[in-house]
Structure 1
């Protein structure tokens, strides 16, 4: 069975046993999390009702993404700015759907 869940402003298609990387969710590694915003669920080509459906997940790790370099430059004005950013994210393992 699969489900489409929304967390952190993004949507993910998940099934039991999947590992996904989502925006940071509070909690330590090993803690269980319930994702309640289920948009779609089904099995094969059949869709099922999503009223009251939840997805149980376990936090595998809290990590950071690769560094993104932001470089600004204006020609002939001696203007250069370099800035880096690493986004925090959470790695989840889906335990069950439903």
Structure 2
């Protein structure tokens, strides 16, 4: 549900809970203001267009605070007169939050609360389903962890004889005395060559 309102010479499309800046109002921060000039109202069923305003429609907003808009630069130039004038302006604005849109017995606040309640109920249901699923997964994981432990016990018992035979086989070579290696033969010393006599 939304509406189109007119204030400060401008038109705004508003919804419940939306915040917007409007021209400065005769109100203080924290107070509530009512916009009577409602040009259009859209509900879930139909659209009502005013001529120029929708009778019976009302938009209520909470004044959040007072702010200043973006600075606007005004530059005036006169050719051949050496005249250049630059001015700046920041418009005073009110920040408002839409708290209610009512038309023909339909309330935007009630509709929003109904939607929020449905979402909360759906979230609670999803959380419950997730908790049950996590519980069942934990039980299944615990069951699967116990089964392998029971099946691994016979395997460990069967592997023990093999380990004993391997140990005995490794001990047999160690029991044999190491054979003495023959001493390496030393090479024979070379005889010095005899020098020939001068007579020869």
Give the equivalent residue in structure 1 for 2:9. 9
Give the equivalent residue in structure 2 for 1:39. 39
Q: 1 or 2, which has the higher helix percentage?
A: 2
Q: 1 or 2, which has the higher strand percentage?
A: 1
Shift of 1:45: 6.7
> Which 10-residue stretch deviates more, 8-17 or 73-82?
73-82
Report the secondary structure of 1:76's partner residue. Answer: coil
Give the equivalent residue in structure 1 for 2:117. none
What is the distance in 1 between the residues matched to 2:44 and 2:8? 26
Report the secondary structure of 1:77's partner residue. Answer: coil
Shift of 1:75: 3.1
* 1:86 lines up with 2:116 in the alignment: no
CA RMSD between the two structures: 1.6
What is the distance in 1 between the residues matched to 2:37 and 2:80? 51
What is the distance in 2 between the residues matched to 1:25 and 1:46? 31
What is the distance in 2 between the residues matched to 1:48 and 1:75? 53
What is the distance in 2 between the residues matched to 1:81 and 1:30? 40
What is the distance in 1 between the residues matched to 2:45 and 2:69? 34
What is the distance in 2 between the residues matched to 1:43 and 1:82? 47
Give the equivalent residue in structure 1 for 2:66. 62
Report the secondary structure of 2:100's partner residue. Answer: strand
Give the equivalent residue in structure 2 for 1:72. 76
The number of aligned residues is 98
Deviations 1:10-50 (A, max 9, x none): 11111110111111112111110001111110124721473
Deviations 1:32-74 (A, max 9, x none): 0001111110124721473211101000111111111111122
What is the distance in 1 between the residues matched to 2:10 and 2:70? 19
